[in-house]
Chain A
Amino acid sequence: MEFVAALEPAFRYGMLASILYVSVRMLLAMFFAKTSDPVRGKLTAAVSRNSYTLYDRETSVGRAKTCDIVLPFETVSRLHAVIAYRSHGFMIFDTFSRSGVKVNGTLIEGKSYLHDGDVVNIGGLDFVLSETKYKFIKDKSGALGSPSYGFTLIVLAVFNLCALLLNLSPDGETVSWTAVGVYVAFIALQWAYYFFASIVLRQTSFEPEMIAFAFTSVGLALVGSIHPEGLFKQFLCVAIGVVGYCVLLSILRFPDAVKKMRWAVAGATLALLGVTLVVANPNNGALNWISLGSISLQPSELAKAAFIFVGAVTLEKLQSIRHLTMFLLFAGACIGELFRMNDFGAALIFFFVFLVIAFMRSGDFRTLILICMGAALGAGLILYFKPYVANRFATYLHVWELMDEGGYQQTRSLIYSASGGLFGLGLGNGCLREVFASCEDLAFGVVCEEFGIIMGFLIPLVYAAVVVKMVVGAKKARSSYYAIASVAAASLILFQSMLSIFGITDLLPMTGVTVPFVSKGGTSMISSFLLLAFIKSADVRTFASFRPQLQTDSPLLDHKPAAATEPRKKAAPAPAQKTEPRKKATAAPKAPPQKTAPKKSATQKSATPKATPKSKREGGGGE
């Protein structure tokens, strides 16, 4: 053990540097990744020859200015339709438009698949869809955008080996083989995930996962040091979390499947919370645990992921169902059950996530303000009828006066956070670890004391940066489902971290929640990894490999040699006949429509001559 003691300063700086490197490097990669924005096709107005590029993401069509494709005609509804590029190619959804959507002359019911050359009639306007042909290529990124993930994993392994050496012998004499086993398995898990995700899930980028692994390593180091007996369980939950993450990510690949599962998940969530209320073990006053033999579970944690799963919607849903009633009821039920469990921290988190999702779905401030007022009224009523609830907040802003009573945890967190300095006292040298719930609620303080204030502050700052990235990236997400879910999940993680960190430092009342990925806690670890799947889903690279990739960066490839030979003379007069398109293209005789799954280029080809009288862009038309 002597050599560990001798190397202690190197460990201290090395561990900080490795986590700093991984998180900063990964954030840079997230922000600077050059992701291609593949053009999947274009819609060309049959008459005006105006063409609209269709990208990989959902495209809303309507008269409203907020639509992606704005058609300023009376016959077009404000939010008329949504065109999406899903696993089987293009689809169009009629979002309860007045005049409906026709595909090749047939009025569709709700939705229809689209194929190359199909004529789409929206509010009387004909459009011809042309698809792009692709080859698989990899995203090209600059140096900042393409890190070496292998090297990142090696850096993480260094951190974990340092943690292992420091935690090798909990009693100071014998070597803990559990620790050795867990750390070897943990490092192996990271590499296994890397290879599995590269090969089976066809991932090319791993930034969120690496950040999660980094913070999980910090948490595991704390658990191994403070609760060595809980190390294996913690690791096991990380492993389950990673598996859960892979499964959820695979499901999220199919928005249509997700759509079908949403209400089943909602029902299951409510049922689980209900069961918890009935069979819960009173745990520190909160009734949020259920025990199954030796395993205890905190369903409210799993409910977080489920809540986002249910709350997020695809664009066509968003555009069809413009009220929030069902989601509001679901959220109300969840929050109500959490209140009955006395799990106010979780209730607050759910309420916050509800607000984020509700706003992203409705964009309506007035509704949200009404809901907030309602919530404030509810809170007021609770305080009025149950005044003891207010006692929970009695110490808020008075922690120093009550430093050996209600303010004990907060004051000790501050005292020991300050004691750590910027670089910490080294793993195992802290005193906050002796305080109740140090590894869970007070994790931020313990990190500050033992790993340093830099590391402590790094965690929420990285979470905040991830939220920013999710917001910035939302417009490129393949589906509004991913956009909403990723922003909601990242916000949830940041909000919960904030409640935890500010709660124990007396900036906010203490609610006893944990810091995601860092704090000890099985269910919350699993839940954090499930949330990670939502974050991951918004990245266009995540599912890119399952879809054809564009060959070059050029905006739209002209892929039809046949069309190229077509005469272009008709182009000139087109702009004049604005009002006419209504009837013009109705004769769309060839319709191999709807349920034909993967497009067959052979059938399409026959359709092209008539449907695409011209295929060049304006340059050709001016001739």
Chain B
Amino acid sequence: MKTTARRSYIALLLVAVVIGGLTLLGVRLFVHGEEWATMRASSHITSDGSFIGAGSVTDRKGVILATTSDGERVYNDSEDVRRATLHIVGDTEGYISSGVQTAYKTELIGYNRVTGLYSLKKYGRGNDVALTLDADLCACALDALGGRKGLIAAYNYKTGELLCSVSSPNYDVRNKPTAKEIAADPDGAYDGLYLNRLIDGLYTPGSIFKIVTTVCAVENMPKLDDWEFTCEGEITIGGVDVTCPHSHGSLTFREALADSCNGAFATLAAKLGADKLQATAAELGFGKTFAFGNGTTQASRFDLTNAAPGDVAWAGVGQYTTLVNPYHMLTVLGAIANDGTAVEPYVVSSVTSPSGRTVMKPQPSTDAYLTPEIARKVGDYLRSDVTDNYGDWNFEGLSMCGKTGTAEVGDDKEPHAWFVGYSQNERCPVAIVVCIENGGWGATSAIPVASDVMEEIYKSVS
């Protein structure tokens, strides 16, 4: 019997294999469980392609942007609101990957590792997600954009709440374009249809980059206000011509910024040098991605490695290879407005379970970009831009600061029209970014849009 008993140990090999396999399976369930359980292939979550499992998405006033009703995913009644909030809310099918309905799928469905989808089964729906957005402001911004491609976003730079965000082109979720229509798109009307340009966009900044050059100058040139420049409409730096639309004549630094004189900023950039510019850009968050909800933004790019003096000069006015992400620009403006400390914009204010328990309440992250002195000084220059050049009447009562941009995008295309700015009004601590693709001049295209939206925001807070 001894022998037989000893030979039976062979069966322990099987036990070891089974335990090993179960461990592996357990680890896989732990690691991939969330991904698997929230797959759209799951009938708990989708039915006939409709996203039935998710809870509601509401704006800051409780207006329902998307919800599940009778086993169907339904959206806000107003087409304008549906289009305006499309990229933030996301679509039923999950094409818009940065949309809350996709990025916060797990939270909306209410999955967790311990109870799985039990809450979804019990209450018939997942968690509700409340946004910081104001649906009316978004609709207003959509209107101001007027069908042009581009984006508008505004946020409270003290709290980080994203109040308004519109990305275009967009579509109505009730009447979405078919794959065929998108494929046959003749004039690029559906270019980057599923991208939220605020998060995923990367644009040539043009003159709005002069803010970065300004920060660098303020940091490195104590006697900046004594600096003078005479613009003759064209200047050659390092064998490269830098041109202005017209000759600005004799300028102080303040005037050069207000007039957005390329010659002056190219000269300053050359004077400051690549290293200092690069350092300031890094300080302001260039090259960095930001967490936005459960996703991340594109990183702005500013790279002067091996740049010739002429390239540095052009980089100083926002051309060269520089690309900026609108979310990042909004954060930079917010930092300047908020005494140098950036409160990063966020859009999901809370996740609440069907039983009323707050599952998640994200806290905005903050990052000190600049010292308060430098921030205030830069802010002072930006204020002059509006008062001396764009006209304070565009932003009545807001004490607006800002900078326009007209980004050359090459060839025979119209430039991108930019405006970035913020209100110094205590009651309306809001920063805004407007970018209209191939929209022409910043001052003539972007300012009116920003003006409309800021006016509406001011109305909504007062």
Instruction: Tell me how far the C-beta of B409 lies from the nearest C-beta in chain A, rounded to whole angstroms.
Output: 40
* Residue from the list A356, A417, A475, A502 in contact with B5, Cβ < 8 A: A475
* Residue from the list B10, B24, B36 in contact with A507, Cβ < 8 A: B24
Other than the given A491-B11, A507-B21, 17 more pairs (CB < 8 A) read A67-B2, A68-B1, A420-B117, A422-B114, A422-B116, A425-B121, A426-B118, A434-B43, A464-B15, A467-B11, A467-B12, A467-B14, A477-B5, A491-B14, A494-B15, A498-B14, A502-B25
Closest Cβ neighbor of A412 among chain B residues? B41
Whether A487 sits at the interface, judged by CB under 8 Å, is yes
Instruction: State how many residues of chain B have any CB contact under 8 Å with chain A.
Output: 43
Also in contact, A359 and B7, with CB within 8 A (given A415-B36, A421-B118): yes
| B37 and A418 form a contact (CB under 8 A) | yes
Whether A457 sits at the interface, judged by CB under 8 Å, is yes
CA of A318 to CA of B1, assembled, Å: 10
| B42 and A415 form a contact (CB under 8 A) | yes
Encode A147-178 as 1/0 by CB contact (under 8 A) with B. Answer: 00000000000000000000000000000000
CA of A477 to CA of B19, assembled, Å: 26
Q: Is the interface of B mostly helix, strand, loop or mixed?
A: helix
Closest Cβ neighbor of A479 among chain B residues? B1
Give chain B interface residues in 92-138, CB to chain A under 8 Å: 111-118, 121
Q: Which residues of B contact A497 (CB under 8 A)?
A: 18
* Residue from the list A57, A468, A508 in contact with B15, Cβ < 8 A: A468
Q: Which residues of A contact B42 (CB under 8 A)?
A: 415-416, 419, 431
Closest Cβ neighbor of A453 among chain B residues? B29
| B18 and A464 form a contact (CB under 8 A) | yes
Whether B357 sits at the interface, judged by CB under 8 Å, is no
| B29 and A474 form a contact (CB under 8 A) | no
Residue from the set A67, A426, A487, A495 with the largest chain B CB neighbour count within 10 Å: A487
Give chain B interface residues in 137-185, CB to chain A under 8 Å: none
Whether A447 sits at the interface, judged by CB under 8 Å, is no
CA of A460 to CA of B26, assembled, Å: 13
| B11 and A480 form a contact (CB under 8 A) | no
Q: Which residues of A contact B9 (CB under 8 A)?
A: 471
Whether B39 sits at the interface, judged by CB under 8 Å, is yes
| A483 and B12 form a contact (CB under 8 A) | no
* Residue from the list B8, B22, B24, B117 in contact with A425, Cβ < 8 A: B117
Closest Cβ neighbor of B109 among chain A residues? A419
Q: Which residues of B contact A434 (CB under 8 A)?
A: 43
Q: Which residues of B contact A359 (CB under 8 A)?
A: 7, 10
| A470 and B11 form a contact (CB under 8 A) | yes
| B10 and A356 form a contact (CB under 8 A) | yes
Whether A563 sits at the interface, judged by CB under 8 Å, is no
| A420 and B25 form a contact (CB under 8 A) | no
Instruction: Tell me how far the C-beta of B273 lies from the nearest C-beta in chain A, rounded to whole angstroms.
Output: 52
| B116 and A480 form a contact (CB under 8 A) | no
Closest Cβ neighbor of B16 among chain A residues? A464
Closest Cβ neighbor of B113 among chain A residues? A421
- Name 10 interchain pairs, CB-CB below 8 A, sorted by A: A419-B116, A421-B117, A425-B121, A431-B43, A457-B22, A470-B8, A471-B8, A474-B4, A474-B8, A491-B11
Q: Which residues of A contact B462 (CB under 8 A)?
A: none
Whether A243 sits at the interface, judged by CB under 8 Å, is no
Whether B17 sits at the interface, judged by CB under 8 Å, is yes
Q: Which residues of A contact B246 (CB under 8 A)?
A: none
Q: Which residues of B contact A490 (CB under 8 A)?
A: 11
Give chain A interface residues in 394-431, CB to chain B under 8 Å: 403-404, 411-412, 414-426, 429, 431
Also in contact, A460 and B12, with CB within 8 A (given A418-B33, A431-B42): no
| A424 and B116 form a contact (CB under 8 A) | yes
Q: Which residues of B contact A498 (CB under 8 A)?
A: 14, 17-18, 21
| B11 and A315 form a contact (CB under 8 A) | no
| A360 and B19 form a contact (CB under 8 A) | no
Q: Which residues of A contact B113 (CB under 8 A)?
A: 421-422
Instruction: Tell me how far the C-beta of A355 lies from the nearest C-beta in chain B, rounded to whole angstroms.
Output: 8
Whether B3 sits at the interface, judged by CB under 8 Å, is yes
* Residue from the list B2, B21, B44 in contact with A502, Cβ < 8 A: B21
Whether B32 sits at the interface, judged by CB under 8 Å, is yes
Whether A484 sits at the interface, judged by CB under 8 Å, is yes
Residue from the set A363, A404, A411, A415 with the largest chain B CB neighbour count within 10 Å: A415
Whether A261 sits at the interface, judged by CB under 8 Å, is no
Instruction: Tell me how far the C-beta of A476 lies from the nearest C-beta in chain B, rounded to whole angstroms.
Output: 8
Q: Which residues of A contact B15 (CB under 8 A)?
A: 464, 467-468, 494
Instruction: Tell me how far the C-beta of B204 lies from the nearest C-beta in chain A, rounded to whole angstroms.
Output: 39
Please give me the 5 A-B residue pairs with the lowest Cβ-Cβ distance, nearest first: A421-B116, A475-B5, A418-B33, A480-B4, A418-B37
CA of A463 to CA of B113, assembled, Å: 26
Q: Which residues of B contact A356 (CB under 8 A)?
A: 10-11
Closest Cβ neighbor of A319 among chain B residues? B3
| A494 and B5 form a contact (CB under 8 A) | no
| B29 and A417 form a contact (CB under 8 A) | yes
CA of A494 to CA of B13, assembled, Å: 12
Residue from the set B15, B37, B42 with the largest chain A CB neighbour count within 10 Å: B15
CA of A375 to CA of B41, assembled, Å: 40
Q: Which residues of B contact A452 (CB under 8 A)?
A: 116
CA of A480 to CA of B3, assembled, Å: 9
| B11 and A484 form a contact (CB under 8 A) | no
Closest Cβ neighbor of A355 among chain B residues? B10
| A483 and B25 form a contact (CB under 8 A) | no
CA of A464 to CA of B33, assembled, Å: 25
Q: Which residues of B contact A487 (CB under 8 A)?
A: 8, 11
Whether A44 sits at the interface, judged by CB under 8 Å, is no
CA of A423 to CA of B7, assembled, Å: 39
CA of A497 to CA of B18, assembled, Å: 9
Instruction: Tell me how far the C-beta of A266 lies from the nearest C-beta in chain B, rounded to whole angstroms.
Output: 21
Encode B317-342 as 1/0 by CB contact (under 8 A) with A. Answer: 00000000000000000000000000
Give chain A interface residues in 47-83, CB to chain B under 8 Å: 57-60, 66-68
| A480 and B1 form a contact (CB under 8 A) | yes
* Residue from the list A360, A418, A491 in contact with B29, Cβ < 8 A: A418
CA of A57 to CA of B4, assembled, Å: 12
Whether A505 sits at the interface, judged by CB under 8 Å, is yes
Whether A383 sits at the interface, judged by CB under 8 Å, is no
Also in contact, A57 and B1, with CB within 8 A (given A421-B112, A424-B116): yes
CA of A283 to CA of B104, assembled, Å: 44
| B8 and A66 form a contact (CB under 8 A) | no
| B8 and A58 form a contact (CB under 8 A) | no
Q: Which residues of B contact A480 (CB under 8 A)?
A: 1, 4
Closest Cβ neighbor of A318 among chain B residues? B4
Q: Which residues of A contact B26 (CB under 8 A)?
A: 453, 457
Q: Which residues of B contact A495 (CB under 8 A)?
A: 14
Instruction: Tell me how far the C-beta of A69 lies from the nearest C-beta in chain B, rounded to whole angstroms.
Output: 10
Whether A461 sits at the interface, judged by CB under 8 Å, is yes
* Residue from the list B5, B25, B44, B116 in contact with A474, Cβ < 8 A: B5
Q: Which residues of B contact A470 (CB under 8 A)?
A: 8, 11
Closest Cβ neighbor of B45 among chain A residues? A419
CA of A452 to CA of B29, assembled, Å: 12
Q: Which residues of A contact B2 (CB under 8 A)?
A: 60, 66-68, 475
Closest Cβ neighbor of B5 among chain A residues? A475
Instruction: Tell me how far the C-beta of B107 lies from the nearest C-beta in chain A, rounded to whole angstroms.
Output: 16
Closest Cβ neighbor of A82 among chain B residues? B1
Residue from the set B7, B17, B36 with the largest chain A CB neighbour count within 10 Å: B7
Q: Which residues of B contact A416 (CB under 8 A)?
A: 42, 44
Q: Which residues of A contact B22 (CB under 8 A)?
A: 457, 460-461, 501
Q: Which residues of B contact A57 (CB under 8 A)?
A: 1
Also in contact, A59 and B8, with CB within 8 A (given A415-B41, A418-B37, A457-B22): no
Also in contact, A360 and B115, with CB within 8 A (given A431-B43, A457-B22): no
| A483 and B8 form a contact (CB under 8 A) | yes
Give chain A interface residues in 277-314, CB to chain B under 8 Å: none
Q: Which residues of A contact B34 (CB under 8 A)?
A: 418
Instruction: Tell me how far the C-beta of A12 lies from the nearest C-beta in chain B, rounded to whole angstroms.
Output: 8
Instruction: Tell me how far the C-beta of A401 lies from the nearest C-beta in chain B, rounded to whole angstroms.
Output: 13
| B37 and A419 form a contact (CB under 8 A) | yes
| B118 and A423 form a contact (CB under 8 A) | yes
Closest Cβ neighbor of A463 among chain B residues? B18
CA of A414 to CA of B37, assembled, Å: 8
